[in-house]
Structure 1
């Protein structure tokens, strides 16, 4: 190489380095201008954001630690994607209630659109007339079919099946499938007026589908969601997701078609019948605008939402509650004593007993606080340029409520890590007003529809199980009930339990 060639090569390298530095400077300037009025947070690195700071999948816990330095409202970047994380109840209520219309939309992604047929559901739909109509219909359906004696009778049927199965277990076992089967059996009854044996192949297959979909959503579909080119070369994970979604929709379509074929307007027996009736009434009144919002796809997506609205919350909370009772036998005995005094052993606890089972309900509330099974709920999207406190929030910004942080805020909860049911009770041992920072079902315009189902069904299932069984860990087990999972869902750890029948053998 000649001297001239060496000089030219050196000049090219220097030019490239200058170009790289200039490019990075422009990137940082644009990044600074875009984010300078957002809430604070740790140093965000190009391309990876704050990923270098996360030491576990419990990102909601990691972020909450940052609040000690940066305050309760944080700007967080995961890869190239930025969101705002709210970690205190006052700001959460500002977002969810006071400025609910500013943050009422949901995020959209490729995988969500596949699952929801382009946002025709309730949970992920964008806010507007169609969503308002669907929430109104779903709320009315839930009030009609998932409350009072109808709910009680259906819970008792599912609960008795669960009790009969639990009685056959002679060795320590993981109660996950038993609890899931009870909750799922109730949902089958409410949505389809069907009663299944827990070993029924279709019943078990649908449980498996929903479990697999949960695992996929938990792990994320980042590549296909955010790199469109890869949708033409999908990963094995995404292929499995597509297959499961098709099977999930095919199952619901089959049930919907069966109900259409046997529909009798004088005999509306379940939620599917009710949705079909709503559509037929719109047809009879020739309301074209309503019919466009009540297509068969819309109705099946509404059914999917209702079918799954309380599923994970109920089954995971119930599993955590059983583990907590095994961990705290003195608290379990107080629950049993209250149930025995209010109900006895001759019948299962009913809806009318709830007002006399305040301590039992308080135990459930405390279990839901310590083990927040949906730690960050569903993300909200800013519908306009707005503010959170003094921070400017651009239109389209994702805002996430850290419900786990609300439930572990030492400013709001004394002895925050201690299991204390008494914190929810009045002096008369009655359930008091809901604590301000207890928010497992969110609030405002996107309040979880499953709340009105989950709370009474959880109470009946839990009270019925503790009425009948003493729940224990095997001898020598020292449990660590730290949840596993991540930002989407928290699961109980893998432990086996003993269910000791309290009723004397006859």
Structure 2
């Protein structure tokens, strides 16, 4: 018996020694402990800073621009600063996506969709998606018309609300309009802005981004915890949010599949995908489950960041009335008072564009972008990152870099304009859509959405804090993305 006890002790010691041993040339970071890695240290920092991106920033301040740690069984590397981030985006070895319980749970314990997949299957689905979206008119005059009509509907809706003299919820006010744009591409139809079904859909999408952070949290590091702590681990809340989205999308797919249509009718992405499934020589990555997960990816990612950015944008306008005055002046000079802005006006409205860029920079809706995974051991600066390491890029570190921006905490749109104030300029430290091969595939559509909805709203209304006049908080709600805290406004129509 004593021999067995001794053997168990020896095995435990060897396990602990192996579990805390860092790979050779691994980036510096907090100490590792058996099983939990740096988990306790990270949780302690998170409790202090409340936001994951601020907690990661503190680690960068302590250990340098490339920080290595272990969370449960996952090796994690945080990459910060322009030099390290540029090197990461240039190397294909970083182009994988994490593979774990959290990243599979939304796709039926498989690697499906285009957000959390990599390799040949991802490449095929991404190519199909880009081709399908172009076929459906993304980037064409037809899509511009849909965007402009949606903006017109939104302004008409807000005008009716403003005449009631009731406070208007602004943190989520753009949700349905933004969702309608992507939904028109996915399913070939739009929702009415007063449709009650959209309230729970948009709220469900927002909540699904707040359950767990981008690293996957405890649910990814210790999946078995879901059996003991189903709520605390995030498992039950996440599944309860995903189920109605799966059901809604599946019902939509079945409805479109059973609808009579012409053989060459191209009315939506679902139709194009269903037609692809009928081919005899399709790639093995195409399936009914893949279609549902692709729709879920586009449905969530295509609406969450844009609507959050617009929600933050109006909050920042309330804090910066001098900016609002300049926005109104430029819109009046270029557009006039007898119509709403069009996409064709974009080039003639550099200050409005600069304001939108500054909102994206300072709001940092996706402060850590989407997590990467190393496909092979790869050198990053002086360090070696092992295969299958989760790597997270701190876009926040670029957008708030004091050495580059001088006063990053100040809302100053002029930083995106040339010395004459007549031309928009670009900054290498401004990457709201990421970079490299995994750059956001809906970037052009997102930019058009941001411009048209923001410009139309600002052109049509004067905004004031509702009630006692308290300005909205700007720090947001933490999650995979940052979302604005609830706030309300009073709207007044700008007179012609």
TM-score normalized with structure 2 length: 0.88
| Paired residues for 1:33-72 under 5 Å | 33-35=21-23, 37-44=25-32, 47=36, 49=38, 50-51=41-42, 52-54=44-46, 55-72=48-65
CA contact (8 A) 1:138 1:306 kept: no
Write the distance in 1 (CA, Å) between the matches of 2:464 and 2:283: 54
Matched, 1:104 2:95: yes
1:270 match: 268
CA contact (8 A) 1:198 1:204 kept: no
Q: Give 1:206 shift.
A: 2.1
Return the structure number with greater helix share.
1
CA contact (8 A) 1:149 1:351 kept: no
Write the distance in 2 (CA, Å) between the matches of 1:272 and 1:411: 47
Pair 45,303 (structure 1): closer, same or farther in 2 beyond 3 Å: same
Could you tell me which of 133, 136, 156 is aligned with 2:127? 136
Matched, 1:416 2:414: no
Q: Give 1:238 shift.
A: 2.7
Write the distance in 1 (CA, Å) between the matches of 2:417 and 2:360: 15
More deviation in 64-73 or 313-322? 64-73
Pair 193,430 (structure 1): closer, same or farther in 2 beyond 3 Å: farther
Q: Deviations over 1:129-187 (max 9, x none)?
A: 22111111212233343323222222233323322332223133321342112212223
Write the distance in 1 (CA, Å) between the matches of 2:285 and 2:129: 14
2:187 match: 192
RMSD: 2.9
Write the distance in 2 (CA, Å) between the matches of 1:466 and 1:482: 19
CA contact (8 A) 1:362 1:431 kept: no
More deviation in 332-341 or 431-440? 431-440
Partner of 2:75, secondary structure, is strand
How many residue pairs align between the two structures? 479
Write the distance in 1 (CA, Å) between the matches of 2:423 and 2:272: 34
Partner of 1:400, secondary structure, is strand
Partner of 1:412, secondary structure, is helix
Write the distance in 1 (CA, Å) between the matches of 2:452 and 2:132: 20
What are the ranges of 5 or more consecutive residues in structure 1 without an aligned counterpart?
Answer: 1-11
Write the distance in 1 (CA, Å) between the matches of 2:398 and 2:225: 38
CA contact (8 A) 2:148 2:343 kept: no
Q: Give 1:441 shift.
A: 1.1
Write the distance in 1 (CA, Å) between the matches of 2:134 and 2:419: 31
| Paired residues for 1:292-371 under 5 Å | 292-371=284-363
1:202 match: 197
Q: Deviations over 1:449-497 (max 9, x none)?
A: 2212111111000000001011222486453643233352212233322
Which structure has the bigger radius of gyration? Answer: 1
| Paired residues for 1:460-479 under 5 Å | 460-474=452-466, 477=469, 479=471
Matched, 1:122 2:119: no
TM-score normalized with structure 1 length: 0.86
Pair 208,418 (structure 1): closer, same or farther in 2 beyond 3 Å: closer
Q: Give 1:301 shift.
A: 2.0
1:247 match: 244
Partner of 2:340, secondary structure, is coil
Q: Give 1:382 shift.
A: 0.9
